[in-house]
A and B are shown apart, each in its own frame.
Chain A
Amino acid sequence: MAGVRRSKVMGEVDAGRDYAEFRREVRDWLEANCPPEMRDGAAGEDSICWGGTSWTFTCAAQKTWLDRCVERGFTVPTWPRAYGGAGLSRDEDKILKEEMQAIGARSPLDSFGIWMLGPALLKFGSEEQKLHFLPPIARGEIRWCQGYSEPGAGSDLAGVQTHAADQGDTWLVNGQKIWTSYADRADWIFALLRTDREAKKHLGISFVLMDMRSPGITTRPIQLISGASPFCETFFENVEVPKTQVVGTINRGWDVAKYLLTHEREMISNGGNVMGSGRALGAVLSDSDTGQSDPVLRGDAMRAEVDSLALEMTLERYKDQAEGGQGVGDASAMLKYMGTELNKQRLELIMAADGADGLTWGESAASSWLRTKANSIEGGTSEVMLSIISRRILNLPG
Chain B
Amino acid sequence: MAKLIQTEEETLLSEAARGFLSKFAPVSRLREMRDAGECNDPELWQEMAAAGWAGVLVPEAAEGSDMGHAAAHVLAREMGRNLTVSPFLSTAVMAATLLRQFRDETSMGKLKQIASGALTYAMAIDESAKHSPERVELIAEKRGNGYVINGKKRFVVDGCEADRILVLAKSNDGLCLFDLPNKSKGISQEPLAMIDSRDAADMVFDDVEVSGEALLGEVGAGYALLKPALEAGQAALAAETTGLAEAAFDLTTDYLKERKQFGITIGSFQALQHRAAHLWCEIELTQSAVLNAGRILDESPDQATLAVSVAKARATDTAQKSVQEGVQMHGGIGMTDAFDMGFYMKRARVAAEWLGDYGYHAGQVAQLRGF
Q: Do A and B come from one complex?
A: yes
A-contact bits for B301-312, CB 8 A (1 contact / 0 none): 001001100100
Judge whether B182 is part of the interface by a CB distance below 8 angstroms.
no
Inter-subunit contact A313/B292 (CB<8 Å): yes
Q: Which of B256, B270, B274, B285 contacts A314 (CB 8 A)?
A: B285
Inter-subunit contact A14/B285 (CB<8 Å): no
B-contact bits for A286-309, CB 8 A (1 contact / 0 none): 100001000000100111011101
A-contact bits for B348-371, CB 8 A (1 contact / 0 none): 000000000000011101100111
Inter-subunit contact A309/B267 (CB<8 Å): no
Q: Measured between C-beta atoms, what is the minimum distance from A326 to chain B in Å?
A: 7
Inter-subunit contact A321/B5 (CB<8 Å): yes
How many Å lie between the Cα of A387 and that of B296 in the bound state? 35
Inter-subunit contact A282/B288 (CB<8 Å): no
Most chain B beta-carbon neighbours within 10 Å: one of A8, A321, A385, A390: A390
Q: Which of A11, A310, A313 contacts B300 (CB 8 A)?
A: A11
Q: Which of B273, B307, B314 contacts A396 (CB 8 A)?
A: B273
Inter-subunit contact A326/B5 (CB<8 Å): yes
Q: Measured between C-beta atoms, what is the minimum distance from B322 to chain A in Å?
A: 14
Inter-subunit contact B365/A302 (CB<8 Å): yes
Q: Measured between C-beta atoms, what is the minimum distance from B279 to chain A in Å?
A: 10
Interface size of A by Cβ–Cβ distance < 8 Å?
50
Nearest opposing residue in chain B for A283, CB measure: B370
Inter-subunit contact B257/A306 (CB<8 Å): no
Inter-subunit contact B5/A301 (CB<8 Å): no
B-contact bits for A383-398, CB 8 A (1 contact / 0 none): 1011101110111111
Q: With a CB–CB cut-off of 8 A, which chain B residues contact A14?
A: 1
Q: With a CB–CB cut-off of 8 A, which chain A residues contact B16?
A: none
Provide the main secondary structure of the chain B interface.
helix
Inter-subunit contact A309/B365 (CB<8 Å): yes
* Residues 345 to 398 of chain A near chain B (Cβ within 8 Å): 383, 385-387, 389-391, 393-398
Q: Which of A69-77, A140-148, A331-339 contacts B (4 or more CB under 8 A)?
A: A331-339
Q: Measured between C-beta atoms, what is the minimum distance from A364 to chain B in Å?
A: 21
Judge whether A316 is part of the interface by a CB distance below 8 angstroms.
yes
Q: Which of A10, A320, A323, A324 contacts B307 (CB 8 A)?
A: A10
Q: Which of B253, B273, B314, B371 contacts A310 (CB 8 A)?
A: B314
* Residues 287 to 304 of chain B near chain A (Cβ within 8 Å): 287-289, 291-292, 295-296, 299-300, 303
Query: Given A11-B299, A305-B366, A338-B285, A310–B1 Cβ distance below 8 Å?
Result: no
Provide the main secondary structure of the chain A interface.
helix
Q: With a CB–CB cut-off of 8 A, which chain B residues contact A285?
A: 371
Interface size of B by Cβ–Cβ distance < 8 Å?
45
Inter-subunit contact B5/A316 (CB<8 Å): no
Inter-subunit contact B370/A317 (CB<8 Å): no
How many Å lie between the Cα of A398 and that of B365 in the bound state? 41
Judge whether B3 is part of the interface by a CB distance below 8 angstroms.
yes
Inter-subunit contact A398/B362 (CB<8 Å): no
Q: With a CB–CB cut-off of 8 A, which chain A residues contact B284?
A: 314, 331, 334
Nearest opposing residue in chain A for B1, CB measure: A11
Nearest opposing residue in chain A for B315, CB measure: A310
Inter-subunit contact B4/A306 (CB<8 Å): no
Query: Given A286-B370, A320-B4, A334-B280, A390–B273 Cβ distance below 8 Å?
Result: yes
Q: Measured between C-beta atoms, what is the minimum distance from A5 to chain B in Å?
A: 12
List 26 A–B pairs whose Cβ atoms lie within 8 Å, in order of A's numbering.
Answer: A10-B307, A281-B369, A282-B369, A302-B362, A305-B365, A309-B289, A309-B310, A309-B369, A310-B286, A310-B288, A310-B310, A314-B285, A316-B292, A324-B5, A331-B284, A338-B281, A383-B274, A385-B277, A386-B278, A387-B274, A390-B274, A394-B273, A394-B276, A395-B257, A396-B267, A398-B267
Interface residues of A (CB under 8 A from B): 8-14, 280-283, 285-286, 291, 298, 301-303, 305-307, 309-311, 313-314, 316-317, 320-321, 323-324, 326, 331, 334, 337-338, 383, 385-387, 389-391, 393-398
Q: Which 9 A-B pairs have the closest CB atoms?
A: A282-B370, A317-B4, A398-B268, A390-B273, A389-B277, A314-B288, A310-B285, A313-B288, A320-B3
